Structure 1
Amino acid sequence: MIQVTAFKWVPPFAQGSVRDIRVRWALEEAGLGYDDRLIGFEDQATPEYRALQPFGQVPAYRDGEVEMFESGAIVLWIAQNSDALMPADDAGRAMVMTWLFAAMNSVEPFVAELATIDLFNADKEWAKQRRPEVEAFLRKRLADLQTALGDRNWFAGDRFSAADILMTHVLRDLRHTAILADFPALADYVARAEARPAFKRALADQMKPFRAAEAARPELAAGRVA
């Protein structure tokens, strides 16, 4: 049985963003069952977990054949054996891999820098000074991305693929802002992806332990950790 590690709970701002959702979504699209192994923050530094994930992050993945970490690599591994996530022809596969890496390397760093400022450093003077420039760079990259999408529904060959899992997840990390509304084709793209039943199942499965933890400890819902 496939096993994916995930957190028992994260603060509200991170819910729906933790990267195990990428792997959950890929498995759902591929029609593959899995178990989630839930870990707490206290488990991240243990030798046992670091043997699976050297940086103490989630997800780590095992399927009886391989053990992996890094969500992008895991999604690519799953996609290589799934017609739902990657076409059979070499040209199609190459385009999926190209856009998958574009999501992580050409788009995500800009999104992540803004999120780091907004979610962790908003009150710091350096962040206030840096933010306008970061947002300007991000908007330029989003404009390029929207142009590349054009009038297609999906990025690689205009069919849903593993690349769209990564790209959608990256763009969803802007939902604490109104920036994506200024790029209507990208906003529609994210909405299309989020409407997929496989995404809805993946999101619900990630959120389930968070809701259970908050029901047991209501103070967690406000992001307070005792």
Structure 2
Amino acid sequence: MPDKPQIITFGWVPEFARGFVRDIRPRWACEEVGQPYETVLIADAKGPEHRRLQPFGQVPAYRDGALEMFESGAIVLHICEKAGKLIPADPVARARAIQWLVAALNSVEPWVAALAVNDLFEADQPWSATRHDKVVADLDGRLADLETALGDRQWLEGDEFTIGDLMMVSVLGQLRGTGVLDRFPRLAAYVARGEARPAHRKAMADHLATFDRPAAA
């Protein structure tokens, strides 16, 4: 049994995916709460060994003692609950922080992902160009709602950075390089604040350094 929690992720991804793989989320959570961890690098997420940990053949997966789990949101929640950090002690504030974590994954990320699917992964399909404007309009609508909810606050619930912010910044960070957030200056500033946190900078640097190593066997 490993002494440290393990984050299982890819040892190599194409250039365009670097900085966007979801192992950045548990890495960031570990850095925020001061939890040392190690990475297990894989080349194939679709094989039977990895599917035992992650039935959908994705990354990350996670081991913590006898616990094996998947889904970045669940992993982040476990890391932070175990450490007692990034989750407010007050039950109402705790519930609202978890609410934002779920909102990031359920109410925002599908619209963010739709843009990548349309403009990147399906760019060679005949419907991609004609669908682009609708995908962007849907995403803009969702981001406008989020910007209104954020208002002038530093973080989603005020002055305290929580797991909800970690997940929301991570989701919005997938728009890096698209110019979409330029239309939402408060959200752009919010993401910049999150990504400027030392824990995020360390997690991202370690994530990117993975790809300087030889590819996993």
TM-score range, shorter chain: over 0.9
The SS at the match of 1:36 is strand
Mapped partners of 1:87, 1:113: distance in 2 = 32
Runs of 4+ in 1 over 3 A off after TM superposition: none
Instruction: Find the counterpart in structure 1 of residue 153 from structure 2.
Output: 152
Could you tell me which amino acid in structure 2 is paired with residue 17 of structure 1? F
Match of 2:35 among 32, 35, 38: 32
Q: Does 1:201 align with 2:202?
A: yes
Mapped partners of 1:53, 1:213: distance in 2 = 24
Mapped partners of 2:89, 2:192: distance in 1 = 27
The answer (yes or no) to whether the contact 2:46–2:58 under 8 Å persists in 1 is: no
The answer (yes or no) to whether the contact 2:147–2:184 under 8 Å persists in 1 is: yes
Alignment of 1:95-114 (within 5 A): 95-114=96-115
Could you tell me which amino acid in structure 1 is paired with residue 101 of structure 2? L
TM-score by length of 1: 0.90
Structure 1 residues 144-191: Cα deviation after superposition (integer angstroms, max 9, x where no partner): 100100111111343111111111111111113111011000000111
Provide the aligned C-alpha RMSD in A. 1.3
Mapped partners of 1:58, 1:205: distance in 2 = 16
Could you tell me which amino acid in structure 2 is paired with residue 18 of structure 1? V
TM-score by length of 2: 0.93
Structure 1 residues 20-59: Cα deviation after superposition (integer angstroms, max 9, x where no partner): 1100000110100001000013xx2322211111122111
**Greater shift after overlay, 45-54 or 68-77?**
45-54
Could you tell me which amino acid in structure 1 is paired with residue 20 of structure 2? S
**Greater shift after overlay, 133-142 or 73-82?**
73-82
Q: Aligned residues: percent identity?
A: 56
Mapped partners of 2:33, 2:66: distance in 1 = 17
Gaps of 5+ in 1: 215-226
Could you tell me which amino acid in structure 2 is paired with residue 13 of structure 1? F
The answer (yes or no) to whether the contact 1:103–1:163 under 8 Å persists in 2 is: yes
